[in-house]
Amino acid sequence: MIRGLLGRKRGMMQVFNPVGEAIPVTVIEAGPCVVTQIRTRDRDGYEAVQIGFEEVPERKLTLPERGHLKGTGKRLRHLREFPADNIETHTVGDVLDVALFEAGQQVDVSGITKGRGFAGVVKRHGFRGGPRTHGQSDRLRAPGSVGGGTAPSKVWKGQRMAGRMGGKRATIQSLEVVEVIPERNLILVRGAVPGPNNGLLEIRRAAKVHA
């Protein structure tokens, strides 16, 4: 069985468990996804299942993309590869949905974080800034010294400074699946996941299962 699906983040809400506790959950529309290619060890050097998600008009795809998807009969926007327990159980054209997941299971969710633009060190790295008194007038959110003078006479590589924040791939591990709604292709996972509403997500079987 394949170990993951593609989906879209639809937003956050809260649900209540049987004892009345409010649980914050993210609503993810996962699938349906279509198997577009099987990667084999003999031909490709590794084993994986490539799946596609989200149909689009044919004019949105290039000629090579149309040729690649010809065997599926679908026009799919997003393609990703996932490992599988046994690739022989999958064939090109198979449709995969949220039935892969069940309540109580743990998953890893990956996405592109929200882009925050150019940000200072207080917002980007959590610096506290300089003192608000003792003659300081313009150092409230400044980073302070970024390197020594005589030694080492340089700014160390990796020094935390102001710069572009967000817009990077991030993964939240071991999120609990609270509920699966197969008739609407929805899964509810406890907590927050990366990215804005309607952002593309990869939902994988958890690499580290926490008790």
For residues 157 and 180, state if they share a domain: no
Q: What is the pLDDT of residue 172?
A: 96
Q: Is residue 74 part of a domain?
A: yes
Q: Is residue 42 part of a domain?
A: yes
Residue 159: domain span: 121-144+151-165
Structure tokens of 181? 């709604």
Using the CB atoms, write b or e for 77-91: b if 16+ within 10 Å.
eebbbbebeebeebe
User: Does residue 211 have a pLDDT over 80?
Assistant: no
The reported pTM is: 0.85
Structure tokens of 183? 């008739």
Q: Is residue 134 part of a domain?
A: yes
For residues 78 and 132, state if they share a domain: no
For residues 48 and 129, state if they share a domain: no
Q: What 3-state class would DSSP assign to 46? A: coil
For residues 59 and 133, state if they share a domain: no
For residues 87 and 33, state if they share a domain: yes
d(CA 205, CA 189): 13
d(CA 83, CA 204): 10
% the chain with pLDDT above 90: 76
For residues 160 and 174, state if they share a domain: no
The CATH number of the domain where 106 resides is what? 2.40.30.10
d(CA 25, CA 179): 9
Q: Is residue 210 part of a domain?
A: no
Q: Is residue 15 part of a domain?
A: yes
How many structural domains is the chain composed of? 2
107-150 residue pLDDT tens: 999 999 999 999 999 999 999 988 888 888 888 999 988 988 88
For residues 69 and 159, state if they share a domain: no
For residues 104 and 195, state if they share a domain: yes
d(CA 129, CA 175): 34
141-196 residue pLDDT tens: 999 889 888 888 899 999 999 999 999 999 999 999 999 999 999 999 999 999 99
d(CA 140, CA 188): 42
Q: What is the pLDDT of residue 135?
A: 85
d(CA 106, CA 2): 15
Q: Is residue 71 part of a domain?
A: yes
Q: Is residue 128 part of a domain?
A: yes
For residues 135 and 56, state if they share a domain: no
Across the range 20-39, mean pLDDT stands at 93
For residues 70 and 53, state if they share a domain: yes
For residues 36 and 75, state if they share a domain: yes
Nearest alpha carbon to residue 1 among 93, 98, 89, 125? 89
In this structure, what is the dihedral angle of CA atoms 155, 160, 166, 167, given to the nearest 10 degrees? Answer: 30
Q: Is residue 211 part of a domain?
A: no
User: Does residue 210 have a pLDDT over 90?
Assistant: no
For residues 92 and 135, state if they share a domain: no
Q: Give Cβ neighbours of residue 141 (< 8 Å, ≥ 6 apart).
A: 120, 121, 122, 127, 129, 130
